[in-house]
Amino acid sequence: MNNVIDGKETSITIEEEVKQCIKGCIIRPSVAVIQVGDNELSETFIKLKEDACNRVGIYFRYYKFEDGTSELTIINKIKELNNDDYVNGIMIKLPLPEKYNEKRLLNTIINSKDVDGLTDINIGRLLSGRKTIIPSAVLSILTLLKENNIELKGKDVVIVGKGKTVGRPLISVLLNEGATVTICHSNTLDIKRHTLNADIVISATGVKNIITEDMVKENAIVIGVGCCIEKGKILDDIDSKVLEKNSIVIKALDSIVPLTVSMFLKNTLLCYSNKK
Amino acid sequence: MNNVIDGKETSITIEEEVKQCIKGCIIRPSVAVIQVGDNELSETFIKLKEDACNRVGIYFRYYKFEDGTSELTIINKIKELNNDDYVNGIMIKLPLPEKYNEKRLLNTIINSKDVDGLTDINIGRLLSGRKTIIPSAVLSILTLLKENNIELKGKDVVIVGKGKTVGRPLISVLLNEGATVTICHSNTLDIKRHTLNADIVISATGVKNIITEDMVKENAIVIGVGCCIEKGKILDDIDSKVLEKNSIVIKALDSIVPLTVSMFLKNTLLCYSNKK
């Protein structure tokens, strides 16, 4: 369909750029991913990242802890990775099982290795409009819009979802680009009233088909970032009927997911370049 | 007029509470305010803070640098204050003259003395929903709404202005309270389309009378935070005709300004209590 923007090509280009850069490195860049407990969607995404790292030459380390592992054990592993000169980026796969203090764990990562841009200081830098590491998913949305010459300045953008990995950091990026931003979430009484007026709708909830065709105006740009998994199949926030509405649609699985993986590689390289 | 919420009484109560707390301190809490260059509005506000500090027993230090002073001189003063055990809070009066790197200066303040909550790490903590120092003006808005039993959860709130002292940190606070938040600013093409649907409009631009009565719906709550000064008189963002619209109005000079001063005292006390 010609009203679907496909991010795969862009992701391949970025991956190739990263690969070429790495060819020039004496010591290979290395990234560590920490997972706690089982989560099918998390594992799928980690596998995508691992495969991509292998393709471009980033050394990939994977630490999986059982649900129930003490927080101290995980904190000690993070500290060990902080102090390891051969680890350039550290990522904790979210969401963690509820009993863990996500913020404490995230903020144990030293700033220069925060490959996902989620420590308080990096989030704050982003909100203040300073140069910092931008979360991969947010970077992929921004890249796709820029690649397709979609201007953000003066546009009405509605974000659905106020999560810490996409919704919240996205606010900062969009404001810095001059968009008018509305954030809807589970407490919003009438999401449709907001989305129906938006030039761009970005949905990051992980609720299947939450954005239906009656919720978006004609010619709107609709971006699905959130994902869920059902019977091994990845689904996203955008109902397929939205495509019939003459909207431009960016789907999670086709575009945002592969691009987010490429941006993760790029962020790893950024951490590698920034190391002291 | 009975549709004006007056914050003065609340500000007096808070000031009294701070005063009582300070009576129990062997070493007096102390706050340092740094100003660079001349600015009539800044000087007015600094004077209000100084007077309030004197009333409650906070030791007030004021450092004024001429416009043109080297950034290094100012940075060295901040570092000196960081290391001074008898200084609990440090505030740089914004805006600075344009040639100064505001972010670098702000981030020189150590986190525990950041009385205005504007270092990157404090801004990030706020966005992540963590306990932190909240900028005084933002705290005063939140307090006034709570004092008057105005629920934020599920409400449509439009912020006009995306500045770093009010607009941006306010987003985090409102999202944490469950409001749906829209941020309009100088790039927004049609501010009125947004404000007209809002349950609560918060204007933080410093542009005189930018919010007019045709821009707000009946029974909306309209809060003026931004100020400007004309012939020695402080004016705010809300046109007086908004009062005729059956809206509930919170004016900057009557409510937000005195409450912000009280919150500054409270934040100083918080820094004092947090010191190691």
CA A157 to chain centre: 18
What percent of chain A lies above the pLDDT cut of 90?
A: 83
Same fold for the pair B26-110 and B136-257: yes
Q: Is A28 helix (H, G, I), strand (E, B) or coil?
A: coil
Question: Which residues 37-96 on chain B approach chain A with CB closer than 8 angstroms?
Answer: none
* pLDDT at residue B30 greater than cutoff 60: yes
Please state the ipTM of this predicted complex.
0.91
What percent of chain A lies above the pLDDT cut of 70?
A: 99
Q: Is A265 helix (H, G, I), strand (E, B) or coil?
A: helix
Q: Residues B206, B237: contact at Cβ < 8 Å?
A: yes
A180 touches chain B (CB under 8 A): yes
Environment class of B252 (CB within 10 Å of its CB; exposed 0-12, middle 13-18, buried 19+)? buried
The two three-digit tokens of residue B33, written as one number: 């305010």
Handedness of CA B269, B35, B262, B51 (dihedral sign): positive
Rounded to 5°, angle at Cα A241 from A239 and A246: 120
What percent of chain B lies above the pLDDT cut of 90?
A: 82
Q: Taking the C-alpha atoms of B257, B258, B260 and B263 in order, what is their torsion angle to the nearest 10 degrees? A: 180
For residue A134, give how far its alpha carbon lies from the nearest alpha carbon of chain B (Å). 13
pLDDT of residue A2: 61
DSSP states along B129-181: T---PPPHHHHHHHHHHHHTT---TT-EEEEE---TTTHHHHHHHHHHTT-EE
Interface contact flag, A130 B103, Cβ < 8 Å = yes
* pLDDT at residue A1 greater than cutoff 70: no
Instruction: Work out the number of other CB atoms within 10 angstroms of the CB of residue A6.
Output: 14
CA distance B2 to B148: 13
B184 touches chain A (CB under 8 A): yes
Residue type, B182: T
The two three-digit tokens of residue B194, written as one number: 């947004």
Q: Does domain A136-257 have CATH number 2.170.120.12?
A: no
Is-above-0.90 flag for pTM?
Answer: yes
For residue A181, give how far its alpha carbon lies from the nearest alpha carbon of chain B (Å). 5
CA distance B133 to B125: 9
For residue B72, give how far its alpha carbon lies from the nearest alpha carbon of chain A (Å). 20
Closest residue in A to B121 (Cα) is A121
CA A99 to chain centre: 23
Rounded to 5°, angle at Cα B158 from A133 and B143: 90
H runs (alpha helix) in A107-256:
120-127, 136-147, 167-176, 191-195
Indicate the class that CATH gives domain B26-110: alpha beta
Residue type, B104: R
CA B43 to chain centre: 15
How long is chain B? 276
The mean pLDDT of chain B is 94
CA distance A272 to A267: 8
* pLDDT at residue A275 greater than cutoff 80: no
What are B38-75's pLDDT values in tens digits? 999 999 999 999 999 999 999 999 999 999 999 999 99
* pLDDT at residue A267 greater than cutoff 90: yes
DSSP states along B182-211: EEE-TT-S-HHHHHTT-SEEEE-S--TT-B
3-state per-residue secondary structure call for A52-63: HHHHHCCEEEEE
Q: How confident is the model at residue B162 (pLDDT cuts 50, 70, 90)?
A: very high
Q: Residues A8, A250: contact at Cβ < 8 Å?
A: no
A101 touches chain B (CB under 8 A): no
Matching residue, tokens 């054990």? A73
Question: Which residues 188-207 on chain A approach chain B with CB closer than 8 angstroms?
Answer: 188-189, 193-194, 197
Q: Residues A156, A198: contact at Cβ < 8 Å?
A: yes
| Largest pairwise CA distance in chain A | 55
The residue ranking higher by pLDDT, A48 or B128, is: A48
Which residues make beta-bridge pairs with B234?
B229
CA B36 to chain centre: 19
Nearest to B17 by CA among B52, B42, B47: B52
B101 touches chain A (CB under 8 A): no
- Indicate the domain borders of chain B: 26-110, 136-257
Nearest to B271 by CA among B71, B122, B68, B142: B122
φ and ψ of B165, to 5 deg: -85, -30
pLDDT of residue A270: 95
Q: Residues A178, A199: contact at Cβ < 8 Å?
A: no
What are B222-235's pLDDT values in tens digits? 999 999 989 888 89
Matching residue, tokens 């991509």? A52
The mean pLDDT of chain A is 94
* pLDDT at residue B159 greater than cutoff 80: yes
Average pLDDT for A134-159: 95
CA distance A161 to B175: 11
* A127 closest CB neighbour out of B124, B180, B189: B124
* B171 closest CB neighbour out of A122, A128, A171: A171
CA distance B106 to B276: 21
Which residues make beta-bridge pairs with A234?
A229
Backbone Cα Rg of chain A: 18
Helix (H) or strand (E) run with residue B219 in it: none
